[in-house]
C-alpha cells in the first residue's frame, strides 16, 4: 500500500476518533449538568461552553468539599425549621435568613462563599447542577425585595427555591438522589414524598 494512502487512512482514523471523543464528552456533560449545560452553551457557544464546564470540574476538584456530619445536618435542619416559622410573621427577614443559612451550609461543605456570586454558582453547579438555577432565582427575588419590588408571594417562592437548594446541600454528593428542580417552582408547591425519615422531618410547606 502506498505511503500516501496509509497516511490518509491514519488522518481519517484520527479525525473520526476525535469526533467520537467530542460526541462522548458532549453527551457526558449534558448528562451531568442538565439545564446548566444548555445555559453555558447558550451564553458562550458549544465549544467555549463545554470548556467552561470542564474548567469548573477541575477547579472544584481542588477544593476540600466534605459531607456534613450527622450532628451538623440535624442542627441545620433545626435552623431551617426556625426560618420557616419566622416566615409567618416576618417573610422578608425569613428570606434573608434563608439565604444566610444556605451560605452557612456552603461554607461548612467547603465551598468558597465570596462576593462573586457567578463564580459561587459555577462551583456549586459541578456537584449540584439541578438546583443552581433555584439559587439564581431566589437571589434575584431577594434583590428585588431590597429594592422594594417583591411581593409576599415572591418571597414565598424564594423560600421554596432556597429550601430545594438547602435539601440538596445536606445530602452527600455521592448519595444524591436525582431531582428535577431546574424548572421554575410554582407558587403553590406540594413537597413531594421523600424517602427516609431525615427529609420527612423538613416542614411540608412554607406558609405565608
**Domain ranges, residue 184:** 70-200
Domain assignment present for 189? yes
Domain assignment present for 208? no
**pLDDT at residue 146, rounded to an integer:** 82
Q: Which pLDDT tens digit goes with each residue over 157-186?
A: 999 999 999 999 998 654 443 333 333 333
Q: Identify whether residues 27 and 113 lie together within a single domain.
A: no
Closest CA to 109 of 95, 134, 126: 126
Domain assignment present for 94? yes
Domain assignment present for 207? no
102: exposed, middle or buried (Cβ count in 10 Å: 0-12, 13-18, 19+)? buried
More confident residue, 20 or 73: 73
138 vs 155: CA distance, rounded Å: 8
Q: Is the pLDDT of residue 201 over 50?
A: no
What residue has cell string 431590597? 146
Q: Identify whether residues 80 and 161 lie together within a single domain.
A: yes
Q: Identify whether residues 114 and 14 lie together within a single domain.
A: no
Domain assignment present for 14? yes
Q: Which pLDDT tens digit goes with each residue over 1-10?
A: 667 766 766 6
130: exposed, middle or buried (Cβ count in 10 Å: 0-12, 13-18, 19+)? buried
Q: Is the pLDDT of residue 208 over 60?
A: no
Q: Is the pLDDT of residue 19 over 70?
A: no
Residue 153 grid cell: 408571594
**pLDDT at residue 24, rounded to an integer:** 74
Q: What is the pTM of this model?
A: 0.70
Domain count, the chain: 2
Q: Identify whether residues 74 and 163 lie together within a single domain.
A: yes
Closest CA to 138 of 96, 78, 85: 96
105 vs 99: CA distance, rounded Å: 10
Q: Which pLDDT tens digit goes with each residue over 99-120?
A: 999 999 999 999 999 889 999 9
**pLDDT at residue 10, rounded to an integer:** 67
Q: Identify whether residues 41 and 78 lie together within a single domain.
A: no
Q: Which pLDDT tens digit goes with each residue over 134-149?
A: 999 999 998 888 888 8
Q: Identify whether residues 88 and 131 lie together within a single domain.
A: yes
Long-range contacts of residues 32-39, Cβ cutoff 8 Å, at least 24 apart: 32/129, 33/125, 33/129, 34/129, 34/130, 34/182, 35/129, 35/130, 35/133, 35/182, 36/125, 36/129, 36/132, 36/133, 36/182, 39/133
In angstroms, the Cα distances linking 162 to 43, 129, 159 are 25, 14, 5
Q: Identify whether residues 7 and 96 lie together within a single domain.
A: no
Amino acid at each position: 500500500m502506498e505511503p500516501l494512502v496509509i497516511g490518509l487512512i491514519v488522518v481519517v482514523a484520527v479525525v473520526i476518533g476525535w469526533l467520537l471523543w467530542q460526541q462522548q464528552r458532549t453527551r457526558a456533560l449534558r448528562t451531568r449538568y442538565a439545564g446548566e449545560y444548555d445555559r453555558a452553551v447558550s451564553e458562550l457557544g458549544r465549544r467555549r461552553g463545554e470548556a467552561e464546564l470542564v474548567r469548573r470540574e477541575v477547579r472544584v476538584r481542588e477544593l476540600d468539599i466534605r459531607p456534613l456530619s450527622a450532628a451538623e445536618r440535624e442542627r441545620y435542619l433545626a435552623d431551617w425549621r426556625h426560618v420557616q416559622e419566622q416566615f409567618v410573621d416576618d417573610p422578608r427577614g425569613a428570606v434573608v435568613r434563608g439565604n444566610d443559612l444556605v451560605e452557612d451550609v456552603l461554607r461548612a461543605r467547603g465551598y468558597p462563599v465570596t462576593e462573586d456570586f457567578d463564580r459561587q454558582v459555577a462551583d456549586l453547579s459541578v456537584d449540584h447542577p439541578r438546583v443552581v438555577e433555584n439559587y439564581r432565582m431566589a437571589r434575584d427575588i431577594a434583590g428585588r425585595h431590597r429594592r422594594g419590588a417583591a411581593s409576599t408571594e415572591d418571597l414565598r417562592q424564594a423560600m421554596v427555591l432556597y429550601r430545594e437548594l438547602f435539601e440538596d446541600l445536606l445530602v452527600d454528593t455521592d448519595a444524591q438522589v436525582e431531582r428535577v428542580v431546574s424548572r421554575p417552582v410554582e407558587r403553590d408547591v406540594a413537597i413531594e414524598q421523600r424517602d427516609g425519615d431525615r427529609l420527612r422531618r423538613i416542614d411540608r410547606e412554607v406558609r405565608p
